[in-house]
Structure 1
Amino acid sequence: MRILMMGGTRFIGVYLTKILAAQGHEVVLFNRGNKPAPVSGVKQIQGDRTNVEQLKEKLSTVEFDAVFDNNGRELSDTKPLAEIFKGRVQHFVYMSSAGVYLKSDQMPHIEGDATDPKSRHLGKCETETYLATSGLPWTSIRPTYIYGPQNYNDLEAWFFDRIARDRPIPIPGNGMHFTQLGHCQDLAKAMAAVLGNERTRGQIYNVSGDR
């Protein structure tokens, strides 16, 4: 397949690009061009996705079989991209978040659980709702906390820093709350696995590591 990936040079996209390229797919990245492609020979289209006119100019005449939208946070980020490729791609894979769920004592969350209208990830929910009625063959991935090399959030770094400096690690609540983490490479493998699989179209998937 010829695949367009939004981003692709910062964190998850780096690993996903490597996997897809190794599988023989042609991967093209769309980003601001601040970093080199993670795989030699992978092309980059330089642009700003928040500039809708520029997005149309850069992508309306380019053909792809699939799109990975890894960095759309709000509906306004993804809708213009989806409209460009409606009727033109076999698969549109969206990166959502497990942070969309309404807090509940019934754990673990499953994909059909209620979402939180006050979540800071509300834009992700709105995007999934839009994709469900867009006519695109879409799949949404909801990862938990992601860790691993090149993480730009100080998730694991914060803990290791406390340990290295022999400082206590605060634990919220009574210490009995479970939090699931997911490794960046496992997430990338899961995202690659849904590509082209007809059973995944129109579906939302939680992705996490073992409990």
Structure 2
Amino acid sequence: MNSFQARLICVVAVLAVVDAFTGAPLGLGRRAASRSALQMLGSALIVQNKGGGHGEIGFHLAKILKEEKGCDAVTILQDGGEPSGKLPFSRYGELEALGCEVVWCDVKGEGVARLAGKKFDYVFDNWSKDEATVKPIADMAKAQNVETFAYVSSGGMYKYPPTLPITEDADAKETGQREVEKYLDAAGLPWTAFRPQYIYGPATNKRDYLDYFVDRISRDQPVPIPHSGEQLASVTHAYDVAAMLAAATANPKAAKQVFNCGTDAYLTYNEIARQIGKALGKEARLVHYDPAQCPDLKFPFRPQHFFVGVGKAMRELGWAPKHNLIDDLSAFYLADYKALGKDAQAMDFPADPKA
């Protein structure tokens, strides 16, 4: 027996043990299990939107896939047509330095065509908003027999539940994102849907959730907060969101499942304001108001409790959040605020006096 044959027998033995341990069937399950056992991942596609509340997910996900998962190739299909100087897109050079490929295009008009000749093992869709937009991407993934199709859905689809935190089986509105989830299931793909809530973090392009408070407290202005301010929210670091998506790769437990995407550390609106004040070295002056009387005041969160539970992801995906908002305020968030020049911008808050 030569050395190559010996190594081959060892690999086969490892895969047999993995199959026995995981119960993964031949085919898709075995491919996923073998990749996990050998710590080797194939080729990933991230379809990324132009921005908004999920705009930074692709950036963080690509870094995790390359740096932590050892993905052989990562392609970002970036909607927008041409490179943007805004965050997180202005930092895409960091991804290219890691070996990621960024393809800028009008995803709706030419997205799949721009991927001709490429083969993917994993697809992460952070772009589709309804059945019509997901169909070309899903059909391509189906034809390529991908191992994972992870879809970034929305935690905002939940109807206000009778119990909290919100679990994945809670009633959901018939939104475009829910339409996508149903289509992926009907198509027979190994889909996983993630429903994020409020996201913060480096390279984010939607900063309203925290800047609402920082803008006012840093300028010694009162902070209007609806009702008592004791409502709880789930505010999650973008890295933790992306890490949960990455946990779906080569993971048979993720197939055909919905996971809430958040944190297990909830904060009240009052606590968020006070912690930001503490990090700034200033007093947070809170003013509580009735939102029905102040319709023009755009508070960044819902006026009632609204937070998801992440127990299912922790149990099934082996995921746990690494960040918490209180530590991150002083660690990077306020430094980023200054680096963007927001501390020097002139601001007024015309709707605030009504509170």
Question: Does TM-score exceed 0.5, indicating one fold?
Answer: yes
1:155-189 Cα distance to aligned partner (Å, 9 max, x none): 21221111101222222233232111111111111
**What is the correspondence of 1:97-136 to structure 2 with a 5 Å cutoff?**
97-117=154-174, 122-136=175-189
Query: Which residue in 2 is equivalent to 1:7?
Result: 48
Distance 1:174 1:100 in 2: 25
2:258 counterpart (201, 204, 209): 204
1:185 counterpart (231, 239, 245): 239
- Secondary structure of the residue that 2:66 maps to in structure 1? helix
1:96 maps to a residue whose letter is S
Q: Is the CA contact (8 Å cut-off) linking 1:103 and 1:116 kept in structure 2?
A: no
Q: Are 2:230 and 1:176 aligned? A: yes
Distance 2:118 2:107 in 1: 15
| Higher helix fraction (1 or 2) | 2
CA RMSD of aligned residues (A): 1.8
Q: Are 2:65 and 1:20 aligned? A: yes
1:119-170 Cα distance to aligned partner (Å, 9 max, x none): xxx1111111111111111101111100112221122122111110122222
Q: Is the CA contact (8 Å cut-off) linking 1:111 and 1:205 kept in structure 2?
A: yes
Q: Are 2:102 and 1:44 aligned? A: yes
2:114 counterpart (33, 55, 58): 58
Shift of 1:80: 1.5
Structure 2 length-normalised TM: 0.55
2:48 maps to a residue whose letter is G
Q: Is the CA contact (8 Å cut-off) linking 1:3 and 1:28 kept in structure 2?
A: yes
- Secondary structure of the residue that 1:50 maps to in structure 2? helix
Q: Is the CA contact (8 Å cut-off) linking 1:19 and 1:189 kept in structure 2?
A: yes
1:159 maps to a residue whose letter is F
Shift of 1:44: 2.0
Shift of 1:103: 1.3
Structure 1 length-normalised TM: 0.90
- If asked which structure has higher relative contact order (CA below 8 Å, sep 6+), I would say 1
Misfit runs of 4+, over 4 Å:
none
Which ranges in structure 1 are unaligned for 5 or more consecutive residues? none
**What is the correspondence of 1:64-75 to structure 2 with a 5 Å cutoff?**
64-75=120-131
Identical aligned residues as a percent? 33
- Secondary structure of the residue that 1:30 maps to in structure 2? strand
